[in-house]
Amino acid sequence: MKEAHGVRVVVLGAGFGGLTFCQAFRHPSATITLVDRTNHHLFQPLLYQVATAGLSAPEIAAPIRSIFSDRPDVTVLMDDVQSIDLDGRTVKLGHATLPYDYLVMALGGVTSYFGHPEWERHAPGLKSLDDAVRIRREVLLAFEQAENSTDPELRRELTSMVVVGGGPTGVELAGAFAELSRTVLARDFRRMDPTQAHVVLVEAGPRILGHLPESLSESARRQLEALGVEVLVNTKVRDLREREVEFENGRVLRAANILWAAGVGGSPLARQLGAELDRAGRVKVLSDLSLSGRPEVFAIGDMALVTGLDGRPVPGVSPAAMQMARHVASTISEELGSPGGRHAARTAFKYWDKGTMATIGRSAAVAKVGALELTGFPAWLAWLGVHLVFLIGFRNRAAVLLQWMYSYFAYKRGARIIFGNTSES
């Protein structure tokens, strides 16, 4: 098998970090084995668009194999990572055990319920295509059930949605759902009025999008409220039950759909490593992104805790993961090329903040690029532009653009299709 020849590089995870590493690293004497639980690379930033019926699942996913079909040095395995033996330098998968000379861990994170795993049943997170398609199905089904119901109480519950967490994902979900009910579904029902749908965005901190300047948080709140979203700040969740959320201030909301966008935790595998973790479960790495005492093992992306030049941790965003991936790729390349041999003095990773943005709805968004702060339509255009550029390499970029244009001008959402195991709901 290929990975038995030359320098064996094993990459765990085909997210932005793992994928970018494989694209950036290429060496005549090295072979790469890329392992992922799924068969596709997921364009995470648009996952909420699948959950809100704007895009279909395959439009934001690319088969990993086809991305590397022209790279005979890359072997792709769809398998689960069972455990990592750092001393033995092997990774145990469901179907095989892979020895490695270099290990690049890019396993991302998981939805964290802050010590309340039992809440997951009542408030799913949004991490995978399965999550997105399930959420879409549940929300659309709830509206159909509301149309079939004559009980106003039940209708209210069926058309209510609570999004927990005021970060970018929460803001994008709340905005998109409000828009879906206010504009897209508005004319489609005869008995109930979708514009009466109740969308609530809940944030524990003093403001939403806390990572952005206050002026942008404020603008985002105004834009959300203009869409009919009820924004609650300084509001902590005390308990989650079936179709019911209870806040610490005692208020109780009933809603058929409660979504969790509050916390990201580290990969469960990170705990096995014996490496130092932070509260969020991220692996503390050295400035070269390797594990302390393990120069052949790197952690990148959401699962890695790196401190930027400003002393603050590098945010868990895709540009950061891609920058880390390129840094590790050049580090390994240099070592394989240098006569000085392995693990010579390495350069430290530097994060370049390209800016951050969040979209709220049709021509509504906020963006910070360097010192520049954008809101409303200009921010939305910037957001659209950036995402389309990032989508390069996705065969369906044109189709995605087409869908957006359509949704934008026709006020419709193309992927409003209910399928999948509806008995679940």
Contact residues: a copy of itself, CB under 8 A: 1-2, 38-40, 56-59, 61, 63, 65-66, 69-70, 72, 75-79, 94-96, 128-130, 133, 140, 144, 147-149, 185, 187-191, 395-396, 398-399, 402-403, 406, 410, 412, 414-421
Q: Going along 184-293, which residue ranges are E strands?
A: 198-202, 229-232, 237-241, 244-247, 252-254, 257-260, 264-266, 283-284, 290-291
**Closer to a copy of itself by Cβ: residue 69 or 287:** 69
* Closest CB 169 distance from a copy of itself, rounded Å: 19
* Closest CB 54 distance from a copy of itself, rounded Å: 10
- Using alpha carbons, list the distances in angstroms from residue 26 to 104, 107, 280, 326, 328: 14, 21, 33, 11, 12
**Closer to a copy of itself by Cβ: residue 154 or 369:** 154
Cβ neighbours of residue 118 closer than 8 Å, sequence gap 6 or more: none
* DSSP codes, 71-140: -TTEEEEE--EEEEETTTTEEEESS-EEE-SEEEE---EEE--TT-GGGGGTS----SHHHHHHHHHHHH
**Closer to a copy of itself by Cβ: residue 182 or 221:** 182
Token representation of residue 230: 């009820």
**Closer to a copy of itself by Cβ: residue 59 or 172:** 59
**Closer to a copy of itself by Cβ: residue 26 or 350:** 26
* Closest CB 369 distance from a copy of itself, rounded Å: 31
Cβ contact 215:169 at 8 Å: no
**Closer to a copy of itself by Cβ: residue 27 or 412:** 412
Cβ contact 233:222 at 8 Å: no
- Number of other residues whose CB lies within 10 A of the CB of residue 374: 20
Catalytic site residue from 157, 172, 296, 335: 172
Cβ contact 26:73 at 8 Å: yes
Residue whose structure tokens are 């903040």? 353
**Closer to a copy of itself by Cβ: residue 98 or 314:** 98
* Closest CB 183 distance from a copy of itself, rounded Å: 12
- Number of other residues whose CB lies within 10 A of the CB of residue 292: 12
Q: Is 168 exposed, middle or buried (0-12, 13-18, 19+ CB in 10 A)?
A: buried
Q: Is 229 exposed, middle or buried (0-12, 13-18, 19+ CB in 10 A)?
A: buried
Pairwise CA distance, residues 292 & 271, whole Å: 15
138 is catalytic: no
* Closest CB 254 distance from a copy of itself, rounded Å: 20
* Closest CB 64 distance from a copy of itself, rounded Å: 9
Pairwise CA distance, residues 329 & 379, whole Å: 33
Cβ neighbours of residue 204 closer than 8 Å, sequence gap 6 or more: 234, 235, 236, 237, 262
- Sign of the dihedral through C-alpha 170, 172, 178, 181: negative
* Closest CB 212 distance from a copy of itself, rounded Å: 32
Half-sphere exposure of 131 (CA within 13 A, CB side): 21
* Closest CB 366 distance from a copy of itself, rounded Å: 29
- Number of other residues whose CB lies within 10 A of the CB of residue 354: 13
**Closer to a copy of itself by Cβ: residue 97 or 347:** 97
- Mind telling me the catalytic residues? 172
